[in-house]
Chains A and B, each alone.
Chain A
């Protein structure tokens, strides 16, 4: 118990040090550039305390729970030798973590609003809802696929750069044919998908898998899953934009 508290305090000073730049930037702009006082200061300060506590607990939990289990599962599945189960696991991990991603839900809803006010879709609740949902499931499906491709790459030991460069070429070609309104959202969806939850889990899967297969270097083969997960949504969202 005492050890846990000691660890928490240690990581709390870390969180404080990490947050300091944000507080300084905001204070500097408010006081010296905009020369205005902050409204609702009590609520803001409480919010900062929550951010610090949240960061502390989150990192502690990652080290206790997500990283060890992600690695041990990848080990176990790699040892089991069933490619089918590994690929199924990879797809459901990518799909499941993305479909629930809060940032994606927020951005998809925003994109639906913008599309409705620009006359791209009807301005009804239902049209917006189905547009936002279509966007979300397209992105989640493409992330699932990306993790599958990434896992197969680790198994086969393909070099990452050729796949990424090929993906880039596909993005460039598709940009020429996609409607102009979807391009910005499509490019953005690559960055939106990879959330606070997805990143550590997927990284743990990659590193664990690469270190349990003979002849694979976890440094070269373990990373790179996130890169696929940021690339495929661009391609699929542009395809979604061309279809509707």
Chain B
């Protein structure tokens, strides 16, 4: 029965640390409610129950990440940059300096898959997508938004891995990305602009960040000639920038599509 008490004590400690993270927020909300607004909220019971659900859910979620997703992510990052996978077992170490950036293609494919799948499962993105669907009266599809954000993150992380492998300075990529966003903005429907800008920050939350950060640092340590200090960070920045472009593009496409439909209806 040792393992059961082991699990229980881990759950207890993670709930404690999650409670510490949630506590300042609860304190702010209830402090304002009672000191400034001076009114008892109408459904206090339901709201408190909601807080407890959030606390339990977040604790279990973080524990699950630590037990299942992180170890797998770390393991794969190490194995995918292993020269033996790239060159075949015999060639191994002596060819290590001849590896070109194309030879790391499994890294890019893995980065794409991980970016896409973690974003699709991201709770804050789901929450914001439901909210956006509500507020836009159904014009913005929950799934359409989730898929375009996930595609943006996937492309962003793959490109970020490519940058770490070749060792380019990060700011040229980011500045170019900003320029593209600025050009896209006047052509996108006005309704979607703030939501698109938000989606960059939404994607990269507690689930994605440590996983992606570990991937980048691992890559910069294993690829010859890269230093973690200069090349290791930056993947999260890519993951925040690309969804802005993809959501703006999604909005432009769905607007163009509905205009086309209008025309067809009028013609017939």
- Inter-chain contact A54/B60, CB cutoff 8 Å: yes
- Inter-chain contact B121/A55, CB cutoff 8 Å: yes
- Inter-chain contact A65/B53, CB cutoff 8 Å: yes
**8 Å CB contacts to A: which residues of B211-262?**
213, 217, 227-237, 239-240
Q: How far is B135's CA from A222's CA once the two chains are assembled, in angstroms?
A: 9
0 or 1 for each of A183-200: is its CB under 8 Å from B? (1 = yes): 111011011111111111
A239 at the binding interface (Cβ < 8 Å):
no
Residue of A nearest to B21 (CB): A100
Q: How far is B168's CA from A36's CA once the two chains are assembled, in angstroms?
A: 33
**8 Å CB contacts to B: which residues of A71-122?**
72-73, 76-77, 80, 85, 89, 92-93, 96-97, 99-103, 106-107, 110-111, 114-115, 117-118, 120
Q: How distant is A100 from chain B, measured CB to nearest CB, in Å?
A: 4
Q: How far is B44's CA from A64's CA once the two chains are assembled, in angstroms?
A: 10
Q: How distant is A87 from chain B, measured CB to nearest CB, in Å?
A: 12
Residue of A nearest to B85 (CB): A34
Q: Please name all residues of chain B whose beta carbon is closer than 8 Å to the beta carbon of A152 when the two chains form the complex.
A: none
- Inter-chain contact B236/A181, CB cutoff 8 Å: no
Q: Please name all residues of chain A whose beta carbon is closer than 8 Å to the beta carbon of B135 when the two chains form the complex.
A: 207, 218-219, 222
- Inter-chain contact B54/A103, CB cutoff 8 Å: no
Q: How distant is B31 from chain A, measured CB to nearest CB, in Å?
A: 9
> If the complex has contacts A62-B54, A80-B37, A201-B25, are A160 and B194 also in contact, measured as CB distance less than 8 A?
yes
Q: A18 contacts which of B113, B120, B131 (Cβ < 8 Å)?
A: B120
- List the count of A-B residue pairs having beta carbons below 8 Å apart: 346
- Inter-chain contact B131/A203, CB cutoff 8 Å: yes
B92 at the binding interface (Cβ < 8 Å):
no
B49 at the binding interface (Cβ < 8 Å):
yes
Q: A107 contacts which of B59, B64, B210 (Cβ < 8 Å)?
A: B210
Q: How far is B217's CA from A224's CA once the two chains are assembled, in angstroms?
A: 30
- Inter-chain contact B197/A61, CB cutoff 8 Å: no
B48 at the binding interface (Cβ < 8 Å):
yes
0 or 1 for each of B50-82: is its CB under 8 Å from A? (1 = yes): 111111111111111111110110011001100
Q: B57 contacts which of A43, A54, A101, A102 (Cβ < 8 Å)?
A: A54
Q: Please name all residues of chain B whose beta carbon is closer than 8 Å to the beta carbon of A48 when the two chains form the complex.
A: 64, 68
- Inter-chain contact B53/A60, CB cutoff 8 Å: yes
**8 Å CB contacts to B: which residues of A24-78?**
24-26, 28-30, 33-34, 36, 38-40, 43-70, 72-73, 76-77
> If the complex has contacts A110-B217, A111-B233, are A194 and B25 also in contact, measured as CB distance less than 8 A?
no
- Inter-chain contact A34/B76, CB cutoff 8 Å: yes
A175 at the binding interface (Cβ < 8 Å):
yes
- Inter-chain contact A103/B205, CB cutoff 8 Å: yes
B162 at the binding interface (Cβ < 8 Å):
no
Q: Please name all residues of chain B whose beta carbon is closer than 8 Å to the beta carbon of A73 when the two chains form the complex.
A: 29, 32-33, 37
Q: Which one of A50, A117, A198, A224 has the greatest number of beta carbons of chain B within 10 Å?
A: A50
Q: How distant is A61 from chain B, measured CB to nearest CB, in Å?
A: 3
> If the complex has contacts A184-B232, A191-B201, A227-B201, are A97 and B194 also in contact, measured as CB distance less than 8 A?
no
B191 at the binding interface (Cβ < 8 Å):
yes
B100 at the binding interface (Cβ < 8 Å):
no
B264 at the binding interface (Cβ < 8 Å):
no
Q: How far is B61's CA from A102's CA once the two chains are assembled, in angstroms?
A: 13
Q: How far is B80's CA from A28's CA once the two chains are assembled, in angstroms?
A: 13
Q: How distant is B220 from chain A, measured CB to nearest CB, in Å?
A: 9
Q: Please name all residues of chain B whose beta carbon is closer than 8 Å to the beta carbon of A92 when the two chains form the complex.
A: 28
- Inter-chain contact B61/A54, CB cutoff 8 Å: yes
> If the complex has contacts A21-B116, A43-B67, are A181 and B58 also in contact, measured as CB distance less than 8 A?
no
- Inter-chain contact B128/A29, CB cutoff 8 Å: no
Q: How far is B55's CA from A217's CA once the two chains are assembled, in angstroms?
A: 32
Q: A57 contacts which of B56, B116, B206, B207 (Cβ < 8 Å)?
A: B56
Q: How distant is B250 from chain A, measured CB to nearest CB, in Å?
A: 15
Q: Please name all residues of chain A whose beta carbon is closer than 8 Å to the beta carbon of B97 when the two chains form the complex.
A: none
- Inter-chain contact B233/A69, CB cutoff 8 Å: no
Using CB atoms and an 8 Å cutoff, list the residues of chain B in contact with chain A.
7, 17, 20-25, 27-29, 32-33, 36-37, 39, 41-43, 46-69, 71-72, 75-76, 79-80, 85, 106, 110, 113-114, 116-118, 120-121, 123-124, 126-128, 131-132, 135-136, 169-171, 174-175, 178, 181-182, 185, 190-191, 193-195, 197-198, 200-207, 209-210, 213, 217, 227-237, 239-240
Given A44-B72, A96-B28, A160-B194, 7 further pairs, Cβ under 8 A = A61-B57, A67-B131, A93-B25, A118-B229, A171-B174, A188-B213, A226-B202
